Structure 1
Amino acid sequence: MNQELVYLDATRMAELIRTKEISPVEVMQAHLDRIATVDPRINAIVTIADGALDAARAAEAAVLSGAELGPLHGVPFTVKDSIDTAGVATQRGSPIFRGRVPDTDATSVARMKSAGGILLAKTNLPEFSYWIESDNLLSGASNNPWDVTRTPGGSSGGESAAIAAGMSPLGLGTDLAISVRGPAAQTGITSMKATHGRVPMTGIWPRAPRRFWHVGPMARSVRDIALAFSQLAGPDGQDAFASSAAPFDAGSGGLPSRPLRVGWMVGPGFGPVDPEVAATVKAAAETLQAMGVQVEHVGIPALERDFALDVFNKLHVMEMKPAFAAATAGRRPDELYKMARTMLALPDTSMADYIEAEQAAERLRDGFADYFSRYDALITHVLPIPAHKHGVDTFVIDGQSVDATYLQGATVPLNVTGLPGVAMRFGTSKEGLPINVQIVGKWHAEATILHVAALLESASPVRGLHPAL
């Protein structure tokens, strides 16, 4: 029964709790047992939340008393260890913040709790959430449940590994350039980076800059992502970017009355892509077409003119270095992991290059605006390759040698432009590893991309697969 419980999605779990078919205590204990069994091999969990079982008992009492229940009542959730959790250590993957315990929850955590969710644990990440692998000096490297010699990605890799391995049904990650979508692709789960500003970043380091940062839900089903997002979205009066009061309709209210128009592409403009990954994107497009969606192979000229990864790097180095410098001031080099040292050693972007990058970012936004004047969604890859071995710095992809930053080629355009994107599994590599696709929508069109994702999920050839642990 425990195995069945830990692989229920959060929506079903909440339904069964509400109808008293399972208890919150039973659910929580099943996940704690699962962590004890599989996490020694995965190393996804950094801290178990004190009082998780007590909170589950209180949730059970509320069910039995007939109290009003939230949509996530009694459901455990996990949180990346860069997101503040009141009374539970938030150490940001760095010895600098060892033992740091916040007094208050991040807005996103508070909203999950208000919906009835129960904090189960904090999950691993790279130092300061800043790399495509989840490894640091404080808690070490996380492993991929599908193959422990491979990474579950970064920076929300501990979160993705925990959910894929049945240690958590639902969680929160952050995304600067790839970090909820890439790990989802490497472990075969589902995640969403919403429109920039839809979910407040309050209570997440760094406070500034945050124009490319997002916090988003991670789960094993599209409907769980929609349910979590419905609780997370909206301004909080503290994050000035989170100013949009545009409502989120989890149903079909935001969809056009005509057939959907969807384009698909794997390049140019994203960098090289493995043929297996490209074939999975094409298969997803063909599946939608067979379901009555109007589908075309497309190109976006703006992505070919301005390579979004280069634009991002020129802007972000200039903006992020001060945050790194402030956090690490006076610290010994042996207290810093490789990405903090790398960031601090990078040369500043020249003012001329910075201004050109700002203009390029505007051109990219305009290019996507032009595309979405004709289409409702875009299907791309998430990563150009499936999950890779630990510690690899250079890859040969479709005959082209690239460094590890190129894995962000199809994800970072959404951070530069602020567009929403869902990552979901739709294929399997010849080595048995997950392959995800990315569904991109226009600004504030989360309902549309979740609908497209749900269509694909309903016809997915890999639906319901879990790693053998």
Structure 2
Amino acid sequence: MTQPMTQPTTPSTTQDVVFSDATRLAELIRTRQLSPVEVVQAHLDRIAAVDPQINAIVTVAEGALAAAKDAEAAVMAGRELGPLHGVPFTVKDSIDTAGIMTQRGSPIFKGRTPEADATSVARLKQAGGILLAKTNLPEFSYWIESDNLLSGRSNNPWDLTRTPGGSSGGESAAIAAGMSPLGLGTDLAISVRGPAAQTGIVSLKGTHGRVPMTGIWPRAPRRFWHVGPMARSIRDLALAFSLLAGPDGEDGYASRFEAGAAPAPDRPLRVGWLVEPGFGPVDSEVAATVRAAAEALASLGHTVEAVRIPALERDFALDVFNKLHVMEMKPAFRAATAGHEDQMYTMAKTMLSLPDTTMAEYVAAEQAAERLRDGYAAYFRDHDILLTPVLPVPAHKHGIKELVVDGKTVDLTYLQGATVPLNVTGLPGLSMRFGTSREGLPINVQVVGRWQAEATILHAAALLEGVSPVRGLHPSL
């Protein structure tokens, strides 16, 4: 005889439910301390309560509660349960979801409803996850603030006058505000790591190709695009990545990794930390947070030193990226907007107005990208981990065009200075909170590893999480 669902002993309130991580929720569901229906309803109630202020949610998935009832029936029947059984998750609105609108942040795609799930979505569902909602983004996923003509601007739950970032800003805001425990974002230059830093959650951009991009648009330039998990704990990132990674027989880049990846080393880590030079100017509070993370690992018995990577000083990765991606991106944008020019927003217009990269510039940028890869390869001969900033500043105000960082005025694209090198080189990187600004805003650090060393960076991040001075903080709304 099966046991009935019990009244939850932990967590004890709706607030506890919506700020529990996915791993904990799955455990409570599996042990019948919480019903999947209770969990999904708590998150739907949270969306209703706080999303009017934040505007992170584009579409609530019809059928989420029905799926939760089916998940509860499976628990009651004693059936085999997946690792995310009954746990809701959200998905950036550039990632296809079967039967649920995927509108890509543009009126051009208003009402577009795919017939099939993206590979990443299908894999979370196969693990028992329940699709809860689609989240906001900039037009075509191409900017560092989540704003568009179709669904408007998303706000940061820590300060509504500030951005939650882009292009996965709706996703980061939803998780930070307790509307979702787990989500999927995409990353061309900054877009899962930067928004995580602006809202104080965690995210992972794996080695390029480790998670298939099948069912996601845009794909140009394909060699820079990634899809990755966003969450509120390192163990959730590790779980989600284990479910997402691996070839799907459709994405050619993903086919390179059939052999899998190496485990984390079972010895003290060799850690370097780097703030400047190579990334552009960095705020002193951000620099201090990176140093604090390095010192924390040293206090745990790991070998830690300040480092420089000469390749980053020779070739500024953001300039390299701009020369390469504009030439490949513009034809895709022209094709998508043809006949719909009146429905384009600021960023698409800006991108299409950029001057074409000459062939000589393109070849020079390709050679610079190779030098950057070589530079990181040389670094990782002697180190397991690199600690860097994610962003040069905490979350900024909406709508600005320039930043003043450490007394220097730079354009807003400099937000990508420390993240874009990993897209140009394909290296894996993780974003996690380790500090707080004077204004009470999250400050994240970036944990970088060698190619296919996701296990190592997850291990290092888990160590940092265990001694984090900001663990368990969330915005009050």
CA contact (8 A) 1:248 1:446 kept: no
In the TM superposition, 1:24-423 aligns within 5 A as 24-246=36-258, 254-333=263-342, 335-423=343-431
Q: Matched residues in 1 for 2:141 and 2:74: separation?
A: 37
Shift of 1:456: 0.4
Q: Matched residues in 1 for 2:464 and 2:265: separation?
A: 18
For normalisation by structure 2, the TM-score amounts to 0.97
Q: Matched residues in 2 for 1:255 and 1:389: separation?
A: 39
In the TM superposition, 1:455-466 aligns within 5 A as 455-466=463-474
CA contact (8 A) 1:230 1:248 kept: no
Task: Tell me the alpha carbon deviations over residues 427-457 of structure 1, each in whole angstroms, 9 at most, x when there is no partner.
Answer: 0000000000000000000000000000000
Q: Matched residues in 2 for 1:107 and 1:256: separation?
A: 30
Structure 2 vs 1, CA of residues 207 and 394 (structure 1 numbering), >3 Å: closer, same or farther? Answer: closer
Identity of aligned residues (%): 78
Structure 2 vs 1, CA of residues 223 and 425 (structure 1 numbering), >3 Å: closer, same or farther? Answer: same
Match 1:451 to one of 416, 435, 459: 459
CA contact (8 A) 2:394 2:437 kept: yes
- Counterpart in the other structure of 2:8: none
Q: Could you say what secondary structure the match of 1:243 adopts?
A: helix
- Counterpart in the other structure of 2:24: 12
Shift of 1:210: 1.0
Shift of 1:86: 0.2
Q: Extract structure 1 runs of 4+ deviating beyond 6 A.
A: none
Structure 2 counterpart of 1:365, one-letter code: R
Structure 2 counterpart of 1:84, one-letter code: D
CA contact (8 A) 1:422 1:449 kept: yes
Structure 2 counterpart of 1:203, one-letter code: G
Q: Matched residues in 2 for 1:417 and 1:255: separation?
A: 21
CA contact (8 A) 1:246 1:444 kept: no
Structure 2, unaligned stretches of length 5 or more? Answer: 1-12
**2:447 corresponds to 1:435:** no
Q: Matched residues in 1 for 2:266 and 2:161: separation?
A: 47
CA contact (8 A) 1:208 1:323 kept: yes
Structure 1 counterpart of 2:428, one-letter code: P
Shift of 1:254: 1.2
Aligned CA RMSD, in angstroms, stands at 0.9
Task: Tell me the alpha carbon deviations over residues 306-325 of structure 1, each in whole angstroms, 9 at most, x when there is no partner.
Answer: 00000000000001001100
Task: Tell me the alpha carbon deviations over residues 238-258 of structure 1, each in whole angstroms, 9 at most, x when there is no partner.
Answer: 010111335667xxx712233
Q: Matched residues in 1 for 2:298 and 2:418: separation?
A: 22
Structure 2 counterpart of 1:94, one-letter code: S
Shift of 1:209: 3.0
Q: Matched residues in 2 for 1:300 and 1:64: separation?
A: 56
Shift of 1:259: 1.6
Q: Matched residues in 2 for 1:300 and 1:77: separation?
A: 38
Q: Matched residues in 2 for 1:327 and 1:167: separation?
A: 32
Q: Matched residues in 2 for 1:55 and 1:248: separation?
A: 32
Q: Matched residues in 2 for 1:436 and 1:186: separation?
A: 8
- Counterpart in the other structure of 1:424: 432
Structure 2 counterpart of 1:454, one-letter code: A
Aligned residues: 465
